[in-house]
Amino acid sequence: MAELNFDKVLASLKLRLNEIVDEAEFDDVLKEYTGKDSLLSVERKKLSTLSKDDKKTYGEKLNNVNNSITSNIKKAEQEFINKKYTSLENEENEDITIDWITRSGTHRHVISQVMDEVVEIFASIGYKVAFGPEVETSWHNFDALNTPDWHPARYESDTLYTDHNLETLLRTQTSTVQIRHMENNDPPVYIVAPGRVFRSDQLDATHSPVFHQLEGLAIDKNLKFTDLKGTLEYFVKQFFGENIETKFIPHFFPFTEPSAEVLVKWNNGEWLEILGCGMVDPNVLDHVGYSKEYQGFAWGVGIERLAMLKYQIDHIKNFYENDLRFLEQF
């Protein structure tokens, strides 16, 4: 009797199983190798023509082959499923928004870039950079800046204290660095102080409880409001372009007298406030022991506000969400 070459059948089954790309194919393969049109079935039909002994031995052989085909298929199916779920799990564990292999370069955050750009503009006209701490004394944040504790301007922002005696707080403005610098340096002074500030503000499209400012201070003999105006107009033109229109409107800050706000005219004709400024109040210069022959001007500008205007960003939260689709545009 010519027997089927079962080794060949099992070898072809192995090859077939290796080609499977979809779980559903395992049922097809089972049918193909054990179903009614399979070679195995054809062999089974021959059994009735065999002698009793041959029927028994060949019958047993066919059963064994059937069992090994079925168990090979089941085993391959289980492996296939395990592999599929392990790779799914691995994929889900990865941050799929980041393609680390192709993204090898990095760059500075847009806020740092704008901060650098502003610092560069003032550095180019002789200003030095100064820094101060983010946790400040109430003296530097308020009193020395002509804002004693009865002053209404103090209540607007003095909520983020770090002690029970209300003596230290997260600074609400970079104006603190003016005081620190003047306490430790004699005039003349030409500094800018970039940094992070903290307010008890609610997050909305243009406000965040943590944001960035750049403070400027110029103290010398004979500095006038026209020097302030010329300096800030120069800055605005360097930053936004020669054609930008600016205007100064009166305002109040405890530490400057007179005080002003600078507005720029935007594309849609709207005037938008970008910074506060003024001539340094003589009380502030008294607090740091500067003699009366010195006077000067100061300003504070919000970095997020500048970046939002320059790049037409509609919500301040974009800066802090760290979404690469946003960050990579700069």
The SS3 of residue 191 is strand
- Could you tell me how many residues of this chain bind ligand DAH (CB under 6 A)? 11
The amino acid at 269: G
Closest CA to 19 of 8, 4, 29: 29
Which C-beta is closer to ligand DAH: that of 195 or that of 278?
A: 278
Asked if 299 interacts with ligand DAH (CB under 6 A), we say yes
What's the rounded Cα separation, in Å, for the pair 167 and 225?
34
- Whether the CB-CB separation of 306 and 274 falls below 8 Å is answered with yes
Asked if 298 interacts with ligand DAH (CB under 6 A), we say yes
Asked if 176 interacts with ligand DAH (CB under 6 A), we say no
The amino acid at 105: G
From first CA to last CA, the distance across the chain in angstroms is: 80
Least Å distance between CB 231 and ligand DAH? 12
The SS3 of residue 207 is coil
Asked if 231 interacts with ligand DAH (CB under 6 A), we say no
Asked if 318 interacts with ligand DAH (CB under 6 A), we say no
* The pair of three-digit structure tokens given for residue 123, joined into one six-digit string: 């550095």
Which range in 8-16, 117-125, 201-209, 272-280 contacts ligand DAH by CB under 6 A?
272-280
The binder of ligand DAH chosen from 141, 231, 256, 295 (CB under 6 A): 256
Which range in 24-32, 37-45, 78-86, 295-303 contacts ligand DAH by CB under 6 A?
295-303
Region class of 312: left (phi > 0), else alpha (psi between -120 and 50), else beta: left
- x-marked contacts with ligand DAH along 179-218 as a string, rule CB under 6 A: ------------------------------------x---
The SS3 of residue 287 is helix
The binder of ligand DAH chosen from 73, 274, 277, 303 (CB under 6 A): 277
Asked if 295 interacts with ligand DAH (CB under 6 A), we say no
Q: Please compute, for residue 165, the number of CA atoms within 13 A of its CA located in the half-sphere on the CB side.
A: 5
Residues that bind ligand DAH (CB under 6 A): 173, 175, 215, 253, 256, 276-278, 298-300
